[in-house]
Homo-oligomer: A and B are copies of this chain.
Amino acid sequence: MALYLTEAEVTDLLTMEIALESLDEVFRARSEGKVGNIPRSRLPIGRGSYNLMGASWPEAGIVGHKSYAAGAGGASFHVMLYGTNGEGLLAVIEANRMGQVRTGAASGIATRYMAREDASSVGVIGSGYQAETQLEAVAAVREISTAKVFSRTEERRTAFAEKMSAQLEIDVQPAESAAAAVRDADVVITVTNAAEPVLLGEMLGMGAHINAAGGNSWMRRELDTHAVAMSDIVATDDIDQAKIECGELMRAAETGHFSWERLVRLDRIVSKLRRGRDNDEQVTLFESQGVAFEDIAVCNRLLQMAKEQGVGAELPG
């Protein structure tokens, strides 16, 4: 009785609101020690990599994993969910779209608990596939009126601005530079595959919240060390993963400008054990790693909706 959900079915079922609800709930559960996690492992394949990560949430009755093979020909993501009480396999879910929404939603949760309450402007660096859901998630948790986007190719940033203006019904404008996109922004999003920093400390204004959501690799940095050092509160969804994959924190720590002791788990902030910010002047930073418990939480909700609505094909066996 396990279900298979395709990309098209997931796209129809999943909204940002649902992903935000799922993540809010699973972060609270994690803070209570009720969520297990298997960090991402990678194996090189051809011109890409294979990734495997798992998580359990027994209270919600689920355990499972996300796997993906990413290479020159694109990427193929799947989540498998099992029941924790002997139910066996519950679902195989195509997870490209799901991952895009959940990664946006993780930044949305960070923004909800770390950005200034009156945040109304967003600066986005990057205009790819993942940038859309980042902006959508921020706009879902704050009253955003304006956004500026910078990416290296003018046509792409212009297209992004037009598309997202229409979709979110806010004023999204292309910017000529990263500095211009970020200037005076209450919330800053970096979502690039840049190897060298695109967000410099000198671009940031007082009170900004940053979501650093670009590619995870110790070989890459989206922020310079100045931007890390001037962040009063630095949070992440997974400290273990950040220590081996978050290039900007690793470099800042190695050069004495950041201490791992300062790094806060986002789930502690969501559950109010730690504060996301102390006042409106602080700079706050969320380093998004992307963790399997986020995937299984969103997929669990997807599965419930699919069953209620009769969506999805039953697997043989």
State how many copies of this chain the complex holds: 2
A67's partner among B37, B65, B71, B313 (CB-CB below 8 A) is: B65
Q: Are B94 and A67 in contact (CB under 8 A)?
A: no
Q: Are B36 and A44 in contact (CB under 8 A)?
A: yes
Q: Are A69 and B52 in contact (CB under 8 A)?
A: no
Q: Are A36 and B43 in contact (CB under 8 A)?
A: yes
Interface stretch of the complex, out of A79-87, A141-149, A222-230: A79-87
What are 23 residue pairs bridging A and B, where the CB atoms are less than 8 Å apart in the complex? A4-B316, A6-B316, A7-B317, A43-B54, A43-B56, A43-B63, A45-B56, A45-B82, A45-B84, A48-B86, A50-B54, A50-B82, A63-B69, A65-B65, A69-B82, A69-B88, A73-B87, A73-B88, A74-B88, A76-B89, A92-B92, A92-B315, A313-B316
Least CB distance from A173 to B in Å reads: 36
A48-62 contacts to B, CB under 8 A, are 48, 50, 52, 54-56, 58
- What's the tally of chain A residues with a CB closer than 8 Å to chain B? 45
A82 to B72, CA, bound (A): 14
Q: Are B43 and A94 in contact (CB under 8 A)?
A: no
Scoring A residues 276 to 305 as 1 if CB is less than 8 Å from chain B, else 0, what string do you get? 000000000000000000000000000000
A36 to B45, CA, bound (A): 9
A85's partner among B41, B63, B73, B317 (CB-CB below 8 A) is: B73
Binding site for B on A (CB under 8 A): 4, 6-8, 36-38, 41, 43-46, 48, 50, 52, 54-56, 58, 63-65, 67, 69, 71-74, 76, 78, 80, 82-89, 92, 94, 313, 315-317
A71 to B64, CA, bound (A): 14
A74 to B92, CA, bound (A): 20
Least CB distance from A303 to B in Å reads: 15
Q: Are B76 and A78 in contact (CB under 8 A)?
A: no
User: Which interface residue of A44, A72, A86 has the most chain B CB atoms within 10 A?
Assistant: A86
Q: Are A67 and B86 in contact (CB under 8 A)?
A: no
Q: Are B86 and A71 in contact (CB under 8 A)?
A: yes
A48 to B88, CA, bound (A): 12
Q: Are B82 and A67 in contact (CB under 8 A)?
A: yes
Chain B residues with CB under 8 Å of A41's CB are 38, 54
Q: In the complex, what residue of chain B is closest to A94 when comparing beta carbons?
A: B317
